[in-house]
Structure formats: C-alpha cells, structure tokens
C-alpha cells in the first residue's frame, strides 16, 4: 500500500545476526544465494525472517495480485484460498528424480539421471527464470530447534505462495539461521514456479550434494522442499548413513485408563489416513473409560535411538498439509479445528459467504465457486473441490496436539503400524511375530493409488513402508537398514524395538461398502495395540500374524455383524498364495541386493498358508 516502505529489500545485515555462526556455513549460504541470484536474475531478493509482519505483507501482496482470496474475517480469520494452475494439483512421480552418482544407488523404484545430465536440463531452465520476480530466501529448521534431530535447510523460491506455506509448515526465518549457527550445515533447495508447464516440471534430488532443484510446480510435495524432498528423500539417505530412520509416519500418543501413554508411529501412503489417525477423536464410551489420544505429527517421523536403547521420534514439521475432502466434524473434528484460522486452502470450493467447502464437509451448498473458479451447483458433473485439495494449517492450533510435540528429545515409540488401502485380501489388523517379520510386512505393503499423486486412482501397487515415492536410495539397502536397526543390541534395538502391526481400514464387502466404520472407531484397534504393548490384550495366531479377537475390538458395540467381522478378517488361502507370488516378483526387482531374510519371510508365510 502507498506510504509503506518497499515490500522487499536486500538483506540488512541479517546474515550477521547469528553470532557465532560457523563462518563457513554463513559464507556458503551467502555465496550460494549470490550465485543463484546471478543465474536467475530476480528483480529483488528478500531474506525471510519469519515474522508476523512479514507474513502479513506476503499475504497482502498476494491478495492484491489475485494469488490469494481472503476468506470471511470472522468465520475464517487470517485464512485464504488459493487456486492452483489446473495442471498442478498433486505430486508428479514421473518427474521426480534421484540424481545419485551411480544409477544403482537410486534403486529400481526411483527415476534416475546423473547429476551432470540433470543439471544440463535444469541449468538452462533456471537461467533468468526469476526476471521480474522477487526471490525469497527461506531458511527453515526441520525438527525442534536445539535438539540433536534438528536439521537446517534453505529454500530459494520465486513463489510467495511457497514462502507463505513454508512459514506454516516449518520453523522458518531467524530461528533457522540461529540453528544454522549451531549446526554449521544446511540442505540447499532451489525452486522456481517456472512457466508451470508439465514439460518443464522436474523435482530433482542430489543426495551427494545435499541439494534439491524443483522447477515448474507449486504443489506442496513438489515445492515445499522442507517436506517430502528434504525431510524424507534426502533425510532418508542421511539417516542410513548416520544410523537413524526418516519415515513417512504419523506419531500419535494413546493414554489408557491407567494413565500410561503409549506412542505409536504409523506409515500409510499419501491420502490413506495418517492425518486422520494422528488426530483421532475416541468414541464417547472410550473417553468415559479414560482413554485419550494426542497428536505429535501427521506425516513425517524422524526416529533415533535414545540413551535407553529405545527408538525416539520427533515430528520435523511445524504444520499440517492435510487432504480437505472427507474432513468433517464427524470424521476429523481436530483437523477442522486446526484449519479454522490462519490457514491457506488450496483448490477447495468457495461459498457465497466467503467460507470454504469441500465434498464431505457438510451437505453441498446450493451454489458455490468450484476449485477452477467456475460457478458450481450440486448438479455439476465434477466435484467442487479438487479430490487432492489441501489445507496448510499451524500444528499448534490442533486441539489434540501433544504437550510433547516440540520436545527436542521426541517421544519413545512402542509400536509401528503399517497400513495401505486395500479393498480386498488384507485383513483389518494383525501383529507381526517380531521385528524381522515386521520389516517384511512393511517391505510388502501395497495400496491402491490415490489422488495425492498423478496417475490412475485405484490401481494397486507395492508401496513399501509408504516410502515408494520418498526413499532417496536403493529400496533393498533401505530394507537392510531396517533389519540392521533391529539388531543393534545394547546400543538400542533388540527387545527394545517397537512391536509392529499391519492395519487396513479400507476392506470392502461384495456390495462395495467399507466393512469397517473407520475414523474414530479405529480407536478399538489402537486400544488393542496399546494392550499388546503393555503385555495384555488377547490375540489369535493366524498365518499372517496375531489378530485381535471380536471381544478385544468390541465388535458388538460397534454394530459390526459376525458376517462382516468374518469378511474383515478372512484370509483366503488362494488369494494369499497369489499374493506371495507377487511378492516374490516384487523382490526380484532388487536382484542380489535383496536382504535374504525378506525372501525367507515370504517362504515362511507360504508354508504357514499350507
């Protein structure tokens, strides 16, 4: 607005702020920023400090140029709607590359190009790409600052939308430069909106240089580089090298009527229920008995051994990038409360009163503006909100957020839950026999594809540990790392490893309906898991693992009929033999690199099936 100082300026001594900063990291950062500016030719460079005032100016400028639509001041304060380019609505796995020196190190699941080849494509695209734009330098910390787990990154971007999202999703600005002064190292991320064409869209990772380059997409997983690119793909490589785990996992605390809190980490593929499980609201009856649930993280967990030899987890993020459709007062009240204020919505529908709507939120409004900006009525032939529309909300706003969510030590993990989206074959819940069997369950996870990534929704594919799109190195080496973590003896591991479980909320009956009520009723499965961890809880041995009994899950109270229960837990031997054959073919992808234990686990399952 007129009369205010210019919106963006060159840094005013900001790099001198972190006193005691290891000189080299500061020099690296300054010279890298200068080199990027020289190549991309922005008209301004703005160093983000992470302040409220800065965020306000960013959003005001985006409202002024139409990038953001302000929502109702009272009903959705501090919140905005953004409509993306219609072609830029999800992660693009075909255009995501791991550019390790050797192709073999990227493994069979990643696209690979050599660093030189990829840079030969990207360097010309970045040449002059920020002309007429402001270049934002976005320093961020993943993980609670001051802790061993925390890692610093700096994202350079020409998108104010990305910079604003990064402020919600990470601890951004000055705090990160202070952390850099302690850590002396940062991950580099270079992002440009480019022309948003698909031809020029690349999300490239250079593990040997700790560098990410992303061009021509502003979508979350492609452009908010702290999230999937840094905290999963590059961090998974560092974790292997340094003896910890960077996982696509929610972290949830469950307190039993005795007041003991058990922390559970869960790996589910994108749009398969992590955010919902992390924020679960227990049914009234369970609450009356004294059960409660607290949220530590909803998407990513970094796990390392504590001095007690157990695995401790931190949530490296600071916000939620949640799927909007299906989120309602009934399904996920906590997520809805989290995004009531100070939230950026992307590709949801807009009602005449300037509040947002999406399928599943409440009954459809008689009219609204769809995610494409067009008038929409319930008679329209497409959804009003994009199926992968999202909210970016501060984690601290979640009513169920744990007191310990920012603890630099993290929380001790006693159970790991794997789960996919399987209409058929896969039972509701079972427990692994041990860590090695649990690693096998993770390695053979499969799930039907969702709208979170481009491709055919519903197509079944293997998604090991929900990391298929996010493991930054060879998947067989990753499995080996998991097996080795379980053998660390006194340094951790051994008996102190979490128990491993497998769940499937998405099994359907012949008539196509979900057999399991899901959402809050998933509490029954969590309670069983907690009981098992505490040494109680009944289970029946099956070829797949230990399953809970009808009584343990309170099937009667839930109104799940005996027939549905049978269908939920059915292990059809022919289907499972076929599943074992598919798993053998899956393991064949890894050739000699496959840890032999996994093949043996598959053979053992085949034997148990008879």
Binding-site residues for GTP? 271-276, 390, 421, 519-522
Which one of residues 138, 271, 475, 503 is an interface residue with ligand GDP (CB under 6 A)? Answer: 271
Residue 186, beta-bridge partner list: 152
- Of 137-145, 220-228, 374-382, 438-446, the window that binds ligand PGA (rule: CB under 6 A) is 220-228
What is the smallest separation between the CB atom of 286 and Mn ion, expressed in angstroms?
23
Contacts of 331 (CB under 8 A, 6+ apart): 276, 360, 519
In 271-310, the DSSP E strands lie at 292-297, 301-305
The closest alpha carbon to 315, from 220, 397, 227, 435, belongs to 227
Residue 272 C-beta: closest distance to ligand PGA, Å: 8
Nearer to ligand GDP, 112 or 514 (CB): 514
User: In whole angstroms, how far apart are CA 275 and each of 186, 272, 314, 595?
Assistant: 28, 9, 16, 32
- Cβ atoms within 10 Å, residue 162: 26
Interface ranges with Mn ion (CB under 5 A): 274-275
Nearest CB to ligand GDP, comparing residues 178 and 299: 299
Closer to ligand PGA at the Cβ: 87 or 292?
87
Among 271, 350, 555, 560, binds ligand PGA (CB under 6 A): 271
Closest approach of Cβ 334 to Mn ion, in Å?
A: 13
Those residues with Cβ within 8 angstroms of residue 600's Cβ, 6 or more apart along the chain or in another chain? none
Residue 486 in contact with ligand GDP, rule: CB under 6 A? no
Q: How far is the CB of 253 from ligand GDP (least distance, A)?
A: 17
Of Mn ion, ligand PGA, ligand GDP, none, which one sits near residue 514, judging by CB under 5 to 8 A according to partner kind? ligand GDP
Distance of closest approach, residue 531 Cβ to Mn ion, in angstroms: 27
Q: Which tokens go with 447?
A: 């799930």
Within 10 angstroms of residue 563's Cβ, the number of other Cβ atoms is: 10
Instruction: Return the number of the residue (76 or 270) whose C-beta is nearest ligand PGA.
Output: 270
Distance CA 201, CA 207 (A): 19
Mark the segment that binds ligand GDP (CB under 6 A) among 40-48, 61-69, 205-213, 270-278: 270-278
Can you tell me whether residue 527 is helix, strand or coil? helix
For residue 273, the partner it binds in ligand GDP, Mn ion, ligand PGA, none, with Cβ less than 5 to 8 A by kind, is ligand GDP
Q: Residue 274: phi, psi to the nearest 5? A: -65, -55
Catalytic residues: 272
* 452 interacts with ligand PGA by CB under 6 A: yes
Q: Which among 602, 610, 515 has a CA at the least distance from the CA of 553?
A: 515
331 binds ligand GDP (CB under 6 A): yes
State in angstroms the smallest separation of the CB of 331 from Mn ion. 13
Please say whether the beta carbons of 493 and 485 come within 8 A. yes
Q: Is the CB of residue 255 less than 8 Å from the CB of residue 234?
A: no
Residue 427 binding: pick among ligand PGA, ligand GDP, Mn ion, none (C-beta 5-8 Å cut-off by kind): none
Interface with ligand PGA (CB under 6 A), residue from 143, 220, 282, 297:
220
Taking phi first (over 0 means left), then psi (-120 to 50 degrees means alpha), and beta for anything else, what does residue 373 get? left
Residue 83's Cα: distance from chain center in Å? Answer: 22
> Under rule CB under 6 A, which residues in 305-324 are in contact with ligand PGA?
321
The answer to whether 522 contacts ligand GDP (rule: CB under 6 A) is yes
Residue 270 vs 446, nearer CB to ligand PGA = 270
What's the order of all strands across the beta sheet hosting 344-346? 69-70, 80-82, 344-346, 390-394, 319-323
Identified binder of ligand GDP from the candidate list 78, 326, 383, 399, rule CB under 6 A: 326
CB of 500 to ligand GDP, least distance (A): 19
**217 or 275: CB nearest Mn ion:** 275
299 part of the interface to ligand PGA, by CB under 6 A: yes
User: Phi and psi at residue 408, in whole multiples of 5°?
Assistant: -60, -25
Taking CB under 6 A as the binding criterion, the range among 57-65, 156-164, 322-330, 568-576 that sits at the site for ligand GDP is: 322-330
418 touches ligand GDP (CB under 6 A): no
Cα separation, 136 vs 130, whole angstroms: 10
How, if at all, do strands 211-215 and 186-192 pair?
Answer: parallel
Determine the Cα–Cα distance for residues 441 and 482; give it in Å rounded to an integer.
12
Look up residue 366 and give its two tokens: 């008689």
The owner of tokens 């990291």 is: 25
Residues 149-178, one symbol each (x = binds ligand PGA by CB under 6 A, - = not), give ------------------------------
Residue 180 interacts with, from ligand PGA, Mn ion, ligand GDP, none (CB under 5-8 Å by kind):
none
Binding residues: 91, 219-221, 228, 248, 270-276, 299, 388-390, 421, 519-522
Cβ at position 328, least distance to Mn ion in Å: 15
| DSSP conformational letter for 49 | -
Positive or negative, the CA dihedral 420, 424, 425, 431 is positive
Rg (CA), the chain: 24
- What whole-number distance in Å separates Cα of residue 130 and Cα of residue 133? 5
Binding site for ligand GDP (CB under 6 A): 268, 270-276, 298, 322-323, 325-326, 331, 505-506, 514, 518-519, 522
Binding site for ligand PGA (CB under 6 A): 91, 220-221, 228, 270-271, 299, 321, 452
């Amino acid at each position: 607005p007129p009369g205010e100082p210019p919106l963006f300026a060159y840094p005013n001594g900001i790099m001198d702020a972190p006193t005691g900063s290891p000189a080299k990291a500061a020099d690296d950062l300054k010279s890298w920023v200068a080199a990027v500016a020289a190549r991309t030719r922005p008209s301004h460079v703005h160093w983000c400090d992470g302040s409220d005032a800065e965020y306000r100016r960013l959003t005001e400028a985006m409202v002024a140029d139409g990038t953001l639509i302000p929502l109702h001041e009272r009903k959705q304060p501090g919140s905005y709607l953004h409509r993306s380019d219609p072609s830029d609505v999800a992660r693009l796995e075909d255009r995501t590359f791991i550019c390790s020196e050797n192709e073999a190190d990227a493994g069979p699941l990643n696209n690979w190009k050599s660093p030189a080849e990829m840079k030969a494509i990207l360097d010309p695209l970045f040449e002059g790409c920020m002309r007429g734009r402001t270049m934002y330098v976005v320093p961020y910390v993943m993980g609670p600052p001051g802790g061993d787990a925390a890692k610093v990154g700096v994202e350079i971007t020409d998108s104010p939308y990305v910079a604003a999202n990064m402020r919600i999703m990470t601890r951004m600005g000055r705090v990160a430069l202070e952390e850099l002064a302690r850590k002396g190292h940062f991950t580099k991320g270079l992002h440009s909106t480019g022309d948003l064409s698909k031809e020029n869209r690349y999300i490239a990772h250079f593990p040997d240089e700790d560098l990410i380059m992303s061009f021509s997409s502003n979508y979350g997983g492609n452009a908010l580089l702290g999230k999937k690119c840094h905290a999963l793909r590059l961090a998974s490589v560092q974790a292997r090298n340094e003896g910890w785990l960077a996982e696509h996992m929610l972290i949830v605390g469950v307190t039993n009527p005795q007041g003991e809190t058990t922390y559970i980490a869960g790996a589910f593929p994108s749009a398969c229920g992590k955010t919902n499980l992390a924020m679960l609201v227990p049914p009234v009856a369970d609450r009356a008995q004294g059960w409660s649930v607290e949220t530590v993280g909803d998407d990513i967990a970094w796990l390392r051994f504590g001095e007690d030899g157990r695995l401790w987890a931190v949530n490296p993020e600071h916000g939620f990038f949640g799927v909007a459709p299906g989120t309602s007062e009934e399904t996920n009240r906590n997520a809805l409360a989290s995004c009531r204020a100070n939230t950026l919505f992307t590709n949801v529908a807009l009602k005449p009163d300037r509040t947002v709507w999406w399928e599943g939120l409440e009954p459809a409004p008689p009219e609204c503006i769809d995610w494409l900006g067009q008038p929409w009525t319930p008679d329209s032939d497409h959804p009003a909100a994009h199926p992968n529309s999202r909210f970016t909300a501060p984690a601290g706003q979640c009513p169920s957020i744990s007191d310990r969510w920012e603890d630099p030590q993290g929380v001790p993990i006693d159970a790991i839950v794997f789960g996919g989206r399987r209409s058929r074959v896969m039972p509701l819940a079972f427990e692994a026999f041990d860590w090695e069997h649990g690693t096998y369950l993770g390695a053979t996870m499969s799930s039907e594809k969702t709208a979170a990534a481009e491709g055919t929704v519903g197509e079944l594919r293997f998604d090991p540990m929900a990391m298929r799109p996010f493991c930054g190195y060879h998947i067989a080496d990753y499995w080996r790392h998991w097996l080795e973590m379980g053998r660390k003896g006194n340094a951790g591991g051994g008996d102190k490893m979490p128990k491993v479980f497998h769940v499937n909320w998405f099994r359907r009956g012949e008539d196509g309906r979900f057999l399991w009520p899901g959402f809050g009723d998933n509490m029954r499965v969590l309670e069983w898991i907690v009981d098992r961890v505490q040494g109680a809880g009944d289970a029946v041995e099956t070829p797949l693992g230990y399953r809970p009994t009808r009584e343990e899950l309170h099937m009667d109270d839930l109104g799940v009929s005996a027939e549905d229960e049978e269908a939920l837990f059915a292990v059809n031997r022919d289907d499972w033999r076929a599943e074992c054959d598919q798993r053998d073919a899956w393991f064949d992808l890894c050739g000699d690199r496959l840890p032999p234990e996994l093949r043996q686990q598959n053979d053992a399952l085949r034997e148990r099936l008879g």
